[in-house]
Structure 1
């Protein structure tokens, strides 16, 4: 009640009172009745008539689309007939509904209860997604709308393909081992997801992804026909309609491109001058059209074709070669062509004979003649050109050795040899030669160079006799080789002779012959005399200090000269002293041999005396002689070379003892003679037995027949029976032969002296004064010096 007003208006004596009511109607007030009640006393009310309220209002909520009021997108399959119903509830009066949806056909509004609905039926095609709007209009309010976005779904398109993002047709070329992938593309609504794709090859699933790839790159066997299938499900928003599954597929051919493949390439070997065919065998690639190139690597000369014929191999043909087989590949998804190729390396080995390419000293690499100072280091090198590798021999040739090998290496192309400190002996012609399987050793190529080492003269190291022996009257030659550079001139060889005080130079004469050539000298002494046995000095110079000096010795070595001056003195009835003069011993120690006997005997007794240095006159006492007897003596000397060439002899008589009384002489002589004869016979028998037993020539009781003594004076072993002091001795006198082997000379008998037990000798003297006992002489240490002749058996009887 907003206000009540009254006025004094009187009518019919009544007071008229008016009351006005002002209010805002709401939708809740619609269809309500309104009336006015009045009361003035006692609370008695009077009601007025009623009025029905008709309140005009718009719906409180906007219209809705049945079944889809909670979604904003409506899924429909293309070309299908769809029906949407729009409903508006409330409002007084009900709202008017109108559709804006693909020019669809609207139904008549349908009022039911407090709502009004209206449907629209339409058909839509893909790519016509739009909005369907239901508009509610009302007189009491603004326009209200219900909007639904219509999403027109449709099946996937036929798959298409891309390689690395570039569309390709249904034939795809991919290079072998490439990491390229093929993608299957399709579009639709809903748009296919990655997992909606399936790749199959010969009904075998190879990928469940839109991308087809190959682990490690595609292989040749991966080529072929593939099928890509895309499958999607179209689910309409109208639940009264079943979902529609749609699968589409496309086929594609994978062509795997790959390079040609070479067969195994083998190295080739042939002899220089032979023919050779180079071959490049291969398996074609994809595409099969192939170009083959043979390339010689060191000079990049090429030949096109799978074979190349070389009619005559040269050394320059040796080396590494390549064989390349190539094709042209055009992979899908790329603008540029790809050259597919495979290259192999092989070697041509040209065998050829050895040749020496370089030889010399590192300090003089190109010289063929080199002169160096002594103690210089010589670094030799030798290089050969050879295939196969060579045996290399480095050596030298000099006057001592010809082609002496210093170093050898097998299977090499170079050799080095060092001489750390060169000397005279390194002056030589050096050579280097090489040979291999194709070179004859006898004709092996070689290079040579001459090396001269400046040095003073010295011995060459050869075997030279510095001590020479000779005989008087003969010749002796000293020869010697030196090494020296420069080579001494012939006048730089000087020979000297020792004169007892110093060396004095000798010159060419009848006595001396000197022949000097190069590094050799020969010095000859002619018609040697005793004075020539001396020391000689050779001096060699070549201008480089020091000079070379060498001493040579000429020594005698001949039979001795026979002693002379054989005499006797101081004879007694039982002894005599013999003297003689010694001469040159021939260079060897000599021994004097004294043979003596009574003239009526045929066998000699023997005494020896050794030479004493620097002694000239010798004497010896003969003892145990018979009185009143004539003795003959023979003297000669001997050394290791033999006997002197001529002996000497003499005769002497022993003194006569005082004569015995008459009548006794005969008995004495007879008894003595009988005893002596008995002793002689006994001795002869014993000697014969001993000689047979020991088989040697006894020097004791030595029997020498006159035949043995009768020699030609010109023979080496002859005994001159004509002594210088012969005292009437007749050289032609003969003697009775006594049992004696006559085929041996007197000196042959002396040669058996080594059969004795030692160097001293026993000899058997003649019986003195009728004595029968053995007489033994010891070696005399002072003058005269001699050795007694010994018996092998000291028990031998005395002659």
Structure 2
């Protein structure tokens, strides 16, 4: 049918073409709004008005008469442009607003100046309109580019207009690229007397007329000057006697910066040139080589001022060594060291990589801790530096006697049935502490093994282990730790693992065929939990997600549910599961979107068949002339009849039916494969809520049994018990050779 349509259209237009040969022109009038006197790229409206007494033309052409170019071809039918090519609509905003008026919108290019435009039908042509297009100036520079000039001389920059419409009342503006808002000059020639190096850069000239402003013409000004140098070697330059001294100068500024020549001299013998490079090396330096040295650089413009370096021969620092310092907690301590160096050294005290104190040019240094803490037991690093050598280091050792401090004060253990439980904790203390693990009521538990490991001089690890857990092992334990300076208590709460807490759906977003669900996880009940999302209608589960791994408590999770029906209201659930059971969220309802579909009827032009038809058209032209209107009218009526709404609806219905069958198959498959997650939703909600509430009440009762401090920090670990044990209170000298930087504090 589409091929026949294209063939008929081709024959139809051919008939019209031959008809034109014999028809008398009708009156057409072309106007332009706002005017045919326009600026470049200005938008105008070309409006073609037809004599209302004439019949509606089949085709209207907007044509550039001078170049014989068609801009747009319109086919007006019932106040609309039918079968009009896409560029006419998108580029020229074509309009067939009525039976006698047709228009397009055109952005006028520069080359339309003097061009004439007409509108035509197959039997008539309008008046022609000639455009006068005004344009802004075009400029170029006449000065050398780049324009090189010596500092202090005069620079002259010249620009000229090479094209403009109109070319009268030209206004000039000169600017510099780095300050475009500052107008430097208002003529075609710009002169800069006594130019300085900071005036180097890009200069632009701009010309303006009544139409607009030209693009800038840019000239690069290059101001040349003699070098400037500096020494990158510290002054005074310190070198150990017998070592090599390297003196380095660099050019910091010069134009041109090529073919630089160097000159090194010693100030007290200035008539002797020592070296002709930027780096001057003095091997096996002797004390007599101390003094002031200068460097200078030259280019084609001139010679720089000299840079001076003072050389001195010195020796490196040494730091006094002392024994370990031992103090009690809260006491004031002074760590003092003598520094021997020439010149005086700069010293720094460090705790690991943390800088604690710095002093400049000293021979004695002291680091003071006003109130010592247990965590101050460590090796402090002292570094000394001068020009001879940097970072000469020594250790200042300090031990602080202190009461025990555990890394955590509350531990919660979730135990799986009768399996083992294990937990440990770290303690800092000096001297070595003793410890005991007891029930909250003071009784000693049975069957819990324990051990203590010394990590460093004041850092210990306590380990507890029980192979079989009984019902009597659940509850709260107190771990007592003490030495001669004080004691600390760690609270351990041992609880049985249970099913997860209920997840909370935070967001449901429904699309046409799928939905996205977000939820926040709750406590996992002490065991690894996973999640699955369900979509239901009534009591039937119609879609479910893959298993989603837990990211942690109160974390946001998300997943998608596929194969949903459009325009359907669903109830969504999230089911959390661990090996102890399932918990379902509250339901969240959401309706999927409408399935918006549209059928578009493509128009295919049969170019090959049209070419064949052209031959046939020539042979039967006279035969078709007297039947042209009747053929066209019958063909259009037949085309309209076939494009009825009924056909479109039937096609749409068939598509929806196919989709529904596919989705029904998916629904049946989901229904046949119900598993344990769906059973959670089938339970009596009311009875289940009561059981959950009772379980939560039990958990709250357990929580109420915890000490106040234990409730503040519910840290998961692995746990145990033991009587008070005595350990050796002192270590050997070798145990004090290494210390720890503890990360926990009181």
TM-score, length-scaled by structure 1: 0.28
Structure with max Cα Rg: 1
TM-score, length-scaled by structure 2: 0.29
Structure ranking higher in helix proportion: 2
